[in-house]
């Protein structure tokens, strides 16, 4: 069996009690203290290791001044389905700050792996469980909800800058880890190992990935399949609006969308969260239409 060390990097931070958050310095250092590095320091050095590390960043609610150099509204790139207003840009800038802070935590893990001399043969897989917590993103089966990061760092095995364009799914993670660790993949696993893709980025393991949405703060029932080019969606409750999850409903962005809707200033593209009924079926060419705004089937056709 190969001795392979790996770490699944999205990591675990604890919020500091409010009384500790008395200044910017305390908020930045104590708000979410990492146990990632102590875990790495405490691991047995004579055997392979596996860590699954989960971060609170970039979960809502967002806060000001969590990093030394916060993002500005001009740094923001908005999708067409969100209105371009100062408050929406503010919301996005705070989101960017959370990502930057998360990135700094991952950097501390890399530094520790280098210090231990195991960085070259440690597989780091950076993933997310859902899209950003904004309207029409999180809890949807559009790409903004399910096309999440999957970034690999494994210096002794994967060349830096390599891009694999094939389809993979979260159910492929466990079989991949097992194959890398030299463990047989049992018959109950639904996914496929993508170790072959890490060895050769042109290799593919599946033609389609499946996605689903059920109740998440609000009732819904959606199923989808995604190939490299197309996305097919079936809405089980087309009579219901596509209301965002509770955290996104609290957002500055959604508040702005509600205000502009009341004033009759939302574009049709920006109104999709409020629209009902929805199409029972949706089909998109995601290469030609990456924001999934224009249905590929003419009206009235399946």
Q: pLDDT tens digits, residue range 68-115?
A: 999 999 999 999 999 999 999 999 999 999 999 999 999 999 999 999
How high is the mean pLDDT of the chain?
88
Q: How confident is the model at residue 15 (pLDDT cuts 50, 70, 90)?
A: very low
**Residue 23 C-beta-side C-alpha neighbours within 13 Å:** 3
Q: Are residues 40 and 23 in contact, defined by beta-carbon separation less than 8 angstroms? A: no
Report how far residue 37's alpha carbon sits from residue 110's, in angstroms, rounded to the nearest whole number: 9
* pTM for this entry: 0.85
Residue 300 falls inside a structural domain: no
Residue 238 domain flag? yes
Residue 153 makes CB contacts below 8 A (sequence gap 6+) with 110, 123, 124, 126
- For residue 155, the 8-state DSSP code is T
Residue 34: band (very low, low, confident or very high) from pLDDT cuts 50, 70, 90 = low
Helix (H) or strand (E) holding 7: strand 5-9
pLDDT score of 298:
55
Q: Residue 187 falls within a domain, yes or no?
A: no
In this predicted structure, which of 12-26, 96-110, 137-151, 211-225 has the lowest mean pLDDT? Answer: 12-26
Asked whether the predicted pLDDT for residue 9 surpasses 80, the reply is no
Q: Which residues constitute the domain of residue 146?
A: 5-167+207-285
Closest listed residue to residue 51, CA positions, set 12, 90, 99: 12
User: Does 302 score more than 70 pLDDT?
Assistant: no
Q: Is residue 189 part of a domain?
A: no
Percent above pLDDT 90 for the chain: 82
Task: Write the CB contacts of 301 (distance below 8 Å, at least 6 apart in sequence).
Answer: none
- pLDDT of residue 55 exceeding 80, the answer is yes
Please report whether residue 84 resides in a domain: yes
The encoded tokens of residue 11 equal 């990591």
Tell me if 77 is assigned to some domain: yes
172 domain residue, yes or no: no
Supply the pLDDT for residue 10: 32
Higher pLDDT, 21 or 205: 205
Q: What angle do CA 83, 89, 92 make, to 5 degrees?
A: 105
Q: Tell me, what's the pLDDT at 167?
A: 96
Q: Which helix (H) or strand (E) holds 38?
A: helix 36-42
pLDDT digits (tens, 9 = 90+) for 121-156: 999 999 998 999 999 999 999 999 999 999 999 999
Q: Residue 54: pLDDT above 70?
A: yes
Counting the structural domains of the chain, the total is 1
In a domain, 24, yes or no: yes
Q: 163-198 pLDDT, tens per residue?
A: 999 999 999 999 999 999 999 999 999 999 999 999
Average pLDDT over residues 11-40: 49
Q: Tell me whether strands 222-226 and 230-235 are parallel, antiparallel or unpaired.
A: antiparallel
Q: Which CATH number characterizes residue 153's domain?
A: 3.40.720.10
Supply the pLDDT for residue 155.
95
User: Coil, strand, or helix at residue 2?
Assistant: coil
């Amino acid at each position: 069996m190969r001795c392979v060390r790996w770490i699944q990097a999205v990591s675990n931070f604890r919020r500091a009690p409010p009384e500790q958050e008395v200044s910017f310095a305390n908020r930045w250092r104590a708000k979410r203290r990492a146990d990632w590095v102590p875990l790495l320091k405490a691991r047995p050095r004579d055997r392979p290791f596996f860590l699954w590390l989960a971060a609170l960043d970039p979960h809502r609610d967002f806060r000001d001044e969590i990093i030394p150099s916060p993002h500005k509204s001009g740094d923001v790139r908005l999708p067409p389905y969100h209105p371009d207003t100062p408050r929406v840009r503010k919301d996005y800038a705070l989101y960017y700050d959370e990502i930057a802070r998360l990135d700094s935590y991952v950097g501390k893990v890399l530094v520790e792996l280098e210090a231990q001399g195991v960085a070259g043969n440690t597989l780091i897989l950076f993933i997310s469980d859902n899209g950003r917590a904004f309207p029409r993103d999180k809890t949807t089966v559009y790409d903004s909800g399910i096309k999440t990061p999957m970034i690999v760092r494994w210096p002794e095995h994967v060349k830096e800058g390599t891009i694999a364009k094939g389809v993979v799914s979260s159910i492929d993670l466990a079989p991949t880890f097992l194959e890398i660790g030299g463990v047989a993949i049992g018959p109950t696993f639904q996914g496929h190992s993508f170790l072959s893709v890490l060895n050769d980025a042109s290799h593919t393991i599946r033609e389609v990935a499946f996605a689903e949405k059920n109740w998440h703060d609000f009732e819904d029932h959606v199923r989808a399949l995604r190939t490299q080019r197309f996305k097919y969606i079936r809405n089980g409750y087309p009579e219901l609006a596509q209301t965002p999850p509770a955290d996104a409903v609290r957002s500055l962005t959604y508040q702005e969308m509600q205000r502009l809707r009341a004033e009759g200033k939302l574009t049709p593209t920006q109104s999709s969260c409020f629209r009902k009924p929805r199409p029972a079926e949706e089909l998109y060419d995601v290469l030609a239409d990456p924001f999934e705004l224009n249905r590929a089937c003419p009206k009235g056709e399946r």
